[in-house]
Structure 1
Amino acid sequence: MATLLLLWTVCLLYPGRIQGSSAVSRVFVLKGEDVRLEVQKPELLRGDILLFSWTFKSEDTVVGLPYNAEPRVNKNYTGRVELPIKNYSLGLKNLQEADSGVYTAQVIGDKNHRVAEYNVTVQERVSPVNLTVGSVSSSSDSCNLTVTCSAQDSSISSTVTCDTQTCSQEGGERSEGITSDASLSVYLSSTSIICNRSNQVSRSEDMKKIEHFCPRVPASTSSHSWAIIIVVAVLVVVCLLLVIVGCIVLRLRRRRCQTSSQKRPTCESGSHS
């Protein structure tokens, strides 16, 4: 027991001295949610393995599992660690932004090494966005819109130009990368302008229909037009097939009448009918 206590103390004071390497996995968690960090190949505690532990930022030992003893949880994580720990995975509850960092699973024994490592990022839910149309100018064959996509701490503008067939966009794209809190962008869909703010765990959108500002743009009716064209084309093909089949049947019937003189009156009377 004294050896285990000494080992636990060493682990608390010098967790960063454990050697070894493992691939670091990125995990994004919504603030206030829970997370489970798995060990893909669990290390079974046996005689030559004295302690299995999870550390945070190579500074704090979150939980230790001594050989043949109960798990020991750091007092700073009391009530936040899910126990019992199945397969030596780490379950954390109610994560906050201060919980962002690298969590490492390691084994202390005859051979000390890391068996799992996760870079956890805790993010807040993104704030709502608002899409506004600042100005509209139109003519007989085109329409120009100036739109602004706004969030709590930033905004972005774009110009949308539409003719009677299509719409195009200038500006409005902004992507701040995977490590930023959130990205903000405004872009076109087939019939709408969309303002989007998102991070790895949440997203917020606002949308405006183009036809509300550019009535001459046929975007909302184009799908109906295509549907009508397709229906008419199908009907024409069906009619042609019926005509072809009718001609083939009539030709076969005439041939039978010509090769069978006994049935000719019947065929002639049938053809007149």
Structure 2
Amino acid sequence: SILKNILELYLKNKYLSLSSGFSAEISVFVQMGASVQLDIQTQELPEFDDLYWKNDKSENIVKYTNESKKGKLHSSHKDRVYFNNKTFSLTLKNMQKTDSGLYTAVASGESDNNIVTYRVSVIDAVEAPVLTMNSNGSSSDSCTVNFTCRAHELMIDSSYQNNRCSKEEVTSQINTLILDCSQKSIICNHSNPVSWKEDRINITQRCDDNKKNNSKNETDSSFLWPVVALVAVIILICVSVFLYYRHKKDVLGTKVYLNWELNVFSNLKTIQSQRITIIISASFGHHLSVVWAPPQCIL
């Protein structure tokens, strides 16, 4: 009884499938300019007189007649369509974005049965991603690199340390950006359903070069410091000698200025004053003035 019920349920479902058709929608992505093959996805077709493929614009792309066993292509699709008379598959060539839409295989007899429906999306190939190093540092036992993986509107910031990094992935609609690394390379992969491109950096070479540069800088520094110290000592000695001789010259170079001032009042024909001013200027800006004035006399 149970077996009978199972058999009846199976036959009922099979009958419903045949009568209603295999109308499950299948999504297909095609790259611009490429071709795509659409199969009927079943070996058990219902009895039919004609089988045709149509699009969502209600255009019959091809019509196959069971009596003649031949398919006839629509005039507007002759150069871009191939129909297989044995498998009933449809191949669309040189796809453009205007070709995106629904494509349905229909078996026509006493009634029309949708065999399969494809939703075809024609898209561009992805653009190449860009992988850039922001900073890196290396020591004798480790290497750390910070980097950015960027493509389209997607971006991943991460770091490589101790010969590994965590795999990261971001998605936007149909575009996916994946960042991964091995012991030798950092890999930035950009993909969509029809194409993929990648950019990679040889991290082993970068780390080795950085270690060599660090070693060279340390060696240069070990030779540089003694030279700097020697130059500093020489400069200090030169400055000290210069200051010593300058001070000695200022002390020995004391100058004595003798200034005579004579004021004569011509109207009175009198020497009102006659004085001698002796100015002794020493170093450090100090001076000593000695003034001598003779008695007044009338000429």
Same fold (TM over 0.5): yes
Provide the C-alpha distance between the structure 1 equivalents of 2:78 and 2:67, rounded to a whole number of angstroms.
21
Q: 1:183 aligns with which of 168, 176, 180?
A: 176
Judge conservation of contact 2:55–2:101 (CA < 8 Å) in 1. yes
What is residue 115 of structure 1 aligned with on the other side?
115
Unaligned segments of structure 2, at least 5 residues: 1-18, 211-299
SS in 1 for 2:193: coil
Structural mapping, 1:128-207, within 5 Å: 128-139=128-139, 142-151=142-151, 153-163=152-162, 166-169=163-166, 172-176=168-172, 180-207=173-200
Question: What TM-score does the superposition give when structure 2 sets the normalisation length?
Answer: 0.54
Aligned residues: 191
Provide the C-alpha distance between the structure 2 equivalents of 1:206 and 1:71, rounded to a whole number of angstroms.
47
Provide the C-alpha distance between the structure 2 equivalents of 1:140 and 1:83, rounded to a whole number of angstroms.
65
What is residue 242 of structure 2 aligned with on the other side?
none
Judge conservation of contact 1:142–1:161 (CA < 8 Å) in 2. no
Judge conservation of contact 2:83–2:89 (CA < 8 Å) in 1. no
What is residue 48 of structure 2 aligned with on the other side?
49
What is residue 26 of structure 1 aligned with on the other side?
27
CA offsets per residue over residues 59-86 of structure 1, 9 Å max, x none?
3322222454664433432311215633
How far has the Cα of 1:138 moved from its partner?
4.1
Is residue 61 of structure 1 aligned with residue 57 of structure 2?
no
CA offsets per residue over residues 207-244 of structure 1, 9 Å max, x none?
11222333399xxxxxxxxxxxxxxxxxxxxxxxxxxx
What is residue 100 of structure 2 aligned with on the other side?
100
1:108/1:139 CA distance change after superposition, 3 Å? same
1:87/1:149 CA distance change after superposition, 3 Å? same
Provide the C-alpha distance between the structure 2 equivalents of 1:67 and 1:162, rounded to a whole number of angstroms.
66
Unaligned segments of structure 1, at least 5 residues: 1-17, 218-273
How far has the Cα of 1:105 moved from its partner?
0.7
Provide the C-alpha distance between the structure 1 equivalents of 2:34 and 2:62, rounded to a whole number of angstroms.
20
Provide the C-alpha distance between the structure 2 equivalents of 1:201 and 1:161, rounded to a whole number of angstroms.
30
Amino acid at match of 2:43: K
1:78/1:42 CA distance change after superposition, 3 Å? farther
Amino acid at match of 2:113: H
How far has the Cα of 1:115 moved from its partner?
1.7
Provide the C-alpha distance between the structure 1 equivalents of 2:77 and 2:44, rounded to a whole number of angstroms.
22
Provide the C-alpha distance between the structure 2 equivalents of 1:43 and 1:19, rounded to a whole number of angstroms.
12
Judge conservation of contact 2:154–2:171 (CA < 8 Å) in 1. no
Is residue 38 of structure 1 aligned with residue 39 of structure 2?
yes
Judge conservation of contact 1:19–1:114 (CA < 8 Å) in 2. yes
**Structure 1 vs Structure 2 CA RMSD:** 3.2
1:104/1:58 CA distance change after superposition, 3 Å? farther
Amino acid at match of 1:111: S
Provide the C-alpha distance between the structure 1 equivalents of 2:203 and 2:169, rounded to a whole number of angstroms.
18
**Rg bigger for which structure?**
2
SS in 2 for 1:33: coil
CA offsets per residue over residues 131-152 of structure 1, 9 Å max, x none?
111222345654432212233x
CA offsets per residue over residues 103-134 of structure 1, 9 Å max, x none?
21111221321122223233322222221112
Identity fraction in percent: 31
What is residue 266 of structure 2 aligned with on the other side?
none
SS in 2 for 1:134: strand
Question: What TM-score does the superposition give when structure 1 sets the normalisation length?
Answer: 0.58
Provide the C-alpha distance between the structure 1 equivalents of 2:39 and 2:83, rounded to a whole number of angstroms.
14
Higher relative contact order (CA 8 A, sep 6+): 1
SS in 2 for 1:215: helix
Provide the C-alpha distance between the structure 1 equivalents of 2:32 and 2:26, rounded to a whole number of angstroms.
19
**111-120 vs 208-217, greater mean Cα deviation:** 208-217
SS in 2 for 1:22: coil
1:116/1:173 CA distance change after superposition, 3 Å? closer
Provide the C-alpha distance between the structure 1 equivalents of 2:121 and 2:106, rounded to a whole number of angstroms.
21
1:37/1:168 CA distance change after superposition, 3 Å? closer
